[in-house]
């Protein structure tokens, strides 16, 4: 989606650009959200939501900004790069939910808070630090099974999280993953939905 050529990702997510001209970001956001409205959580998203409800999953760590895990019903989601799920005023820090922002993004040029200042989604822009890294590291430390799903682990600091995992590590990913193979107990190169459908059957989990 970022590679459509219409928008320059370095510019969309550059905090200095946003402060200077938030309209460029919101033009992109209008297109992105238009597409996002047509994207549904996959079986894998739903599987992890059900796994959490069954008490077997302590939490999810993601670099995605699409909030599909929350849409699937997951509660404990640590989004290292934030997402559109929440936004806040850059002056008074008033929080706006995705459903509050949706009509603002779709209808107005640049969404503004009641106080008049621009609202910014809680997405990590270039030039900003990742969010909730401490929580992510704590989850990794406490896990007895840490599953790497659909990631090649190329981007730091997320790529370093398996180093904090105390228990076993499993990978479900098509393609190579940047990790020491001796740390990996199970390495599955399969379609995510096909694999987790089989796991759901095994666990008798209805997703
Ligand atoms: Zn405000």
Q: Which residues contact 161 (CB under 8 A, 6 or more apart)?
A: 61, 136, 137, 140, 146
Cα 112 to ligand 1 centroid, rounded to whole Å:
8
Closest CA to 7 of 23, 22, 27, 21: 27
Print pLDDT tens along the chain (207 aa): 444 568 888 899 999 999 999 999 999 999 888 787 788 999 999 999 999 999 999 999 999 988 899 999 999 999 999 988 899 999 999 999 989 999 999 887 899 999 999 999 999 998 898 999 999 999 999 999 999 999 999 988 899 999 999 899 999 999 899 999 999 999 999 999 999 999 999 999 998
Cα 82 to ligand 1 centroid, rounded to whole Å:
20
pLDDT for position 34: 79
pLDDT for position 1: 45
Cα 111 to ligand 1 centroid, rounded to whole Å:
11
Tokens of 123: 């997405």
- Check for a shared fold between 2-39+82-123 and 43-58+136-203: no
pLDDT for position 26: 95
81 vs 62: CA distance, rounded Å: 8
pLDDT for position 4: 58
Superfamily of domain 43-58+136-203: TPP-binding domain (3.40.50.1220)
Task: Tell me, yes or no, if 45 is annotated catalytic.
Answer: no
Cα 117 to ligand 1 centroid, rounded to whole Å:
6
Going from N- to C-terminal start, the domains of the chain cover: 2-39+82-123, 43-58+136-203
Superfamily of domain 2-39+82-123: SIR2/SIRT2 'Small Domain' (3.30.1600.10)
pTM of the model: 0.85
Cα 118 to ligand 1 centroid, rounded to whole Å:
8
pLDDT for position 32: 84
In the set 46, 59, 74, 81, the catalytic residue is: 81
Count of CB atoms situated within 10 Å of the CB of 23: 12
Per DSSP bridges, beta strands 145-149 and 168-172 are parallel
């Amino acid at each position: 989606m970022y590679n459509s050529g219409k928008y320059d990702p370095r510019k969309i997510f550059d905090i200095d650009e946003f402060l200077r001209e938030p309209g460029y970001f919101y033009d992109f956001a209008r297109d992105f959200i238009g597409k996002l409205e047509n994207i549904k959580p996959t079986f894998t998203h739903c599987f992890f939501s059900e796994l959490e409800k069954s008490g077997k999953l302590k939490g999810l760590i993601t670099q995605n900004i699409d909030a599909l895990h929350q849409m699937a019903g997951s509660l404990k989601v640590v989004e290292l790069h934030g997402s559109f799920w929440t936004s806040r005023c850059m002056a008074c820090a008033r929080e706006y939910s995705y459903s509050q922002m949706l009509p603002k993004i779709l209808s107005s040029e640049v969404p503004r808070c009641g106080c008049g200042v621009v609202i910014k989604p809680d997405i990590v822009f270039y030039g900003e630090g990742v969010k909730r890294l401490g929580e992510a590291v704590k989850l990794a430390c406490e896990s007895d099974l840490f599953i790497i799903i659909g990631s090649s682990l190329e981007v730091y600091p997320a790529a370093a999280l398996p180093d904090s995992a105390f228990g076993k590590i499993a990978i479900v990913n098509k393609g190579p993953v940047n990790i020491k193979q001796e740390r990996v107990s199970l390495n599955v190169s399969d379609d995510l939905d096909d694999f987790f459908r089989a796991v759901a059957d095994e666990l008798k989990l209805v997703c």
